[in-house]
Structures are given as structure tokens and as C-alpha cells.
Amino acid sequence: MSPSELSCIIAAPEVPRILVEQALETVEAVLQDFVVWLKKLNIPHRSGSECIAVGLFDKKTDYEAYLKQEGLEGLTGSLGATHPVRLISLVLCDPMELNATSPYEVIAHESIHLFALKSGLCPGWDAWPRWLHEGLAMLGDHSAEKRLKMRSNRSKNATRSDLSTSLFATTNHERARDWKKVATSLDIQAFLRRDLTKNPLSNDDDYAASWAITAALSAWQNGSILNSLIQELSNKFMQYDSTNTIEVTAADWLKSEIGEKWPEFIKLAKSLGG
């Protein structure tokens, strides 16, 4: 059973039917890609029985009222959110609010966050630094529109092998463009140690750097250090050691694990701006 066969979309009545159908296709396609990639990197996770529930709102007022009611007012102003306790993703599908952003990208992004939590990959939202949550989501969210196109062409052009190729961790061009603007000047080690929730840079810079670092880690030694980091963070989460923040713990662990090749790793991450 694929990770999303039990997935569901809960939509406000005014959300167009086509959007609901394509939302479900998006969740299915993106999570299939995610699982293929996790398997390729040997990253342990459960898959097969997780219901990925995504709520689609058509009105900003309703979306933000729900966030406030749940104590998530810090997420107002966003287009999507994943509830860390109720384990449901929420997406605002108002075209005026989305502007040029694809609702399917937001749906893909949030469903990756949710799958990370429900598959046991991440034992709890606070177990990972924010850059890792966002970086992982951005390895996959950008392929949502492409996947939908491939699926709609299925009977015409796309071959079976097109559909079975994972688009996960292919270049996120939008993030790469943002990254190019800051890559040379940003101190990556300082960024890693920063608590982005309390102390963000700018939204674009935070997302761009989170993407670049995660993309570099997924390529570095075939993702083996990324895999070990995920294990390490799970172990740390179970030990309830609060000497350091999770950001500092992860940053220091990465630096010592990568060791003398650290400058080479930084060079790789910086080179992803394009």
C-alpha cells in the first residue's frame, strides 16, 4: 500500500472540486517520491498505514481563526501549516492570497512535514531544528506541479519510468535563486546554531539556507550523514537533555561528524545557488 492510499482531503464547501482531486493526487505523488528517496538513502521510517489529512480552507479569516483557536497564532500570515499535535496539515487555497504560488506546492510542502511526523522519521516537531523540517519539505514541494502534469499526460507521453523516477531532491530552482543572493555572505555554522523560530533572518533567507544545507547533506556521502543526523536527533529527543538547544546540538554534531571535510561541505552548500 502506498503511503497515501489512506490519505484524505477535508475541504471547505467553496473549494473547487478539481482542486480537491488534484490535492489528493499531489499528496500521493509527492509522498511516493519521498518514500523512494528515503529508501534509497536507507533512512528508517514506517510507511503504509499513515493517514495524511489535509484541510483546505478557501477563506483567510477561517484559516487564521482556526490557527488562533489552536494556539498557533505564530503561523498566521502563512499559506500552510502543519499542526504538531493534531497531526493534520492546513492549506489556504484562496487564489488572491496565493498570488503566484501554486496551492499544490503548499499542499506538497505541508504533507511532507506531516509524513515526517506520522512515519516516525521525526519523533516530534521539537526534535528537529526548523531548518531540517523546512529543508526536507523543500526537497520535494517544488515537484508538485511537474508531477501533476506527468500524471495528466500519463496516457499520452509519460512513460512508466518517468512516473517511477523520484523527483525528490532535484534542484528547487526558486530556492536556489534566493540562495544565490545570500550564499557567499551567510555564515552557515552560525545559521545552523540559530533558533529560527525565535530568531529568524528574513523568510526568504531562512528558507533558502534551509533548503541549500539539506540539499547539500542529501548529496554528501550519499546522504549517510543526513541519515545519521536523523537517528541522532531521535535518540537525543528520547533522552530529554536540555543542556543545549536542538539547533546547537545538531550544528555541533554535524561539524564534528563531517570533521576535516567541513570546508568542503560548506563549499558544496554554497555552490547550490544558481
Q: Which residues bind Zn ion (CB under 5 A)?
A: 134, 137
- CB nearer to Zn ion: give 134 or 247: 134
C-beta of 110: minimal distance to Zn ion in Å?
Answer: 7
Nearest partner of 57 among 107, 22, 21, 100, judged by Cα = 107
C-beta of 134: minimal distance to Zn ion in Å?
Answer: 5
C-beta of 31: minimal distance to Zn ion in Å?
Answer: 15
- CB nearer to Zn ion: give 125 or 262: 125
The tally of CA atoms less than 13 A away on the side-chain side of residue 97 is 18
C-beta of 102: minimal distance to Zn ion in Å?
Answer: 15
- CB nearer to Zn ion: give 108 or 137: 137
- CB nearer to Zn ion: give 137 or 230: 137
Distance CA 265, CA 263 (A): 5
C-beta of 90: minimal distance to Zn ion in Å?
Answer: 12
C-beta of 80: minimal distance to Zn ion in Å?
Answer: 7
Distance CA 136, CA 210 (A): 8
Question: For 168, phi and psi rounded to 5 degrees?
Answer: -65, 135
Q: Which of left, alpha, beta for 223 (phi over 0: left; psi -120 to 50: alpha)?
A: left
Q: Which of left, alpha, beta for 169 (phi over 0: left; psi -120 to 50: alpha)?
A: left
DSSP label at residue 47: -
- CB nearer to Zn ion: give 131 or 265: 131
- CB nearer to Zn ion: give 33 or 105: 105
Cell numbers given for 76: 498566521
